């Protein structure tokens, strides 16, 4: 059966605090991607269609996985979270966190304020993000054989939200859970694409690779 497998990019520049400096893989991010590519090859995974966003971390992940040249689609790009966070801080005094524990509280607040239109002058509205993600997935579809899509955690959480009817807090929890180079699969069930795999990292399950199960 044809399906879509979404892959979050490898670990990016975790010390960055803006969009430009974040958008490149760390050495570990490249290694995570190589391990995933090797796993797909070893298991004879078949993906005749390859897509990714246009961000550097998407393109680098695709290359390090050893995938075929992808179709690059800007609709598969991540939200500009650092930009949203800076606007949220400037307009509402919500401090940008510097560690994962801080982001666990910050991300749901930011998503909620963004969805409610409480942050002005954002790069895109929440509704525009919803629409571009839905349009991209519908266009990729399942005709033509299995597709693999290298993208980002925020976009994957939106795909899960749309498939499962999640509210904003639930979508935020999904986003926080997604690991670097994790796989998420959608199968057509009836007229809808439904999740049948979430946050799978079989290439990182060996004890000597647990350190590489990263979220940031």
User: What's the whole-number mean pLDDT along residues 189-195?
Assistant: 89
Q: Torsion over CA of 102, 163, 1 and 59, rounded to 10 degrees?
A: -40
Residue 106's alpha-carbon distances to 2, 45, 95, 111, 153, in angstroms, are 37, 37, 8, 9, 15
Query: Are the C-beta atoms of 14 and 29 separated by less than 8 Å?
Result: no
Per-residue pLDDT for 140 more than 70? yes
Q: Are 64 and 1 in contact (CB under 8 A)?
A: no
Question: What is the spatial order of strands in the sheet that 192-200 belongs to?
Answer: 71-72, 49-52, 147-151, 4-8, 183-189, 192-200
Lowest-pLDDT range of 10-24, 111-125, 172-186, 196-210: 10-24
Residue 165 confidence (pLDDT):
96
Residue 105 has pLDDT above 70, yes or no: yes
Q: What pLDDT score was predicted for residue 100?
A: 80
Instruction: Give 22 or 156, the one with higher predicted confidence.
Output: 156
Q: Could you tell me which of 144, 141, 176 has the C-alpha nearest to residue 157?
A: 176
Average pLDDT of the segment spanning 101-123:
95
pLDDT digits (tens, 9 = 90+) for 3-60: 999 999 999 988 777 888 899 999 999 999 999 999 999 999 999 999 999 999 999 9
| Residues 114-123, mean pLDDT to the nearest whole number | 97
Q: What percent of the chain has pLDDT over 90?
A: 88
Binned at pLDDT 50, 70 and 90, residue 1 comes out as low
* Residues across the chain: 216
User: What is the pLDDT at residue 18?
Assistant: 82
- Is the pLDDT assigned to residue 75 strictly greater than 70? yes
Confidence of residue 182 (pLDDT cuts 50, 70, 90): very high
Query: What mean pLDDT comes out for the span 126-150?
Result: 96
């Amino acid at each position: 059966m044809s399906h879509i497998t979404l892959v979050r990019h490898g670990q990016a520049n975790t010390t960055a605090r803006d969009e430009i400096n974040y958008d490149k893989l760390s050495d570990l991010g490249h290694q995570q991607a190589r391990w995933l590519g090797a796993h797909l090859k070893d298991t004879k995974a078949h993906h005749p269609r390859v897509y990714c966003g246009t961000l550097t971390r998407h393109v680098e992940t695709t290359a390090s996985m050893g995938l075929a040249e992808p179709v690059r689609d800007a609709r598969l790009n991540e939200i500009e979270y650092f930009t949203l966070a800076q606007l949220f801080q400037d307009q509402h005094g919500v401090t940008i966190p510097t560690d994962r524990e801080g982001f666990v509280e910050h991300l749901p607040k930011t998503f909620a304020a963004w969805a409610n239109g409480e942050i002005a002058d954002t790069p895109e509205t929440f509704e525009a993000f919803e629409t571009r993600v839905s349009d991209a997935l519908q266009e990729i579809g399942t005709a033509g054989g299995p597709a693999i899509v290298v993208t980002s955690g925020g976009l994957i959480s939106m795909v899960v939200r749309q498939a499962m009817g999640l509210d904003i807090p639930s979508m935020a929890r999904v986003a926080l859970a997604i690991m670097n180079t994790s796989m998420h699969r959608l199968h057509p069930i009836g007229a809808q694409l439904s999740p049948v795999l979430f946050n799978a990292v079989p290439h990182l399950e060996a004890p000597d690779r647990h350190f590489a199960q990263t979220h940031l």
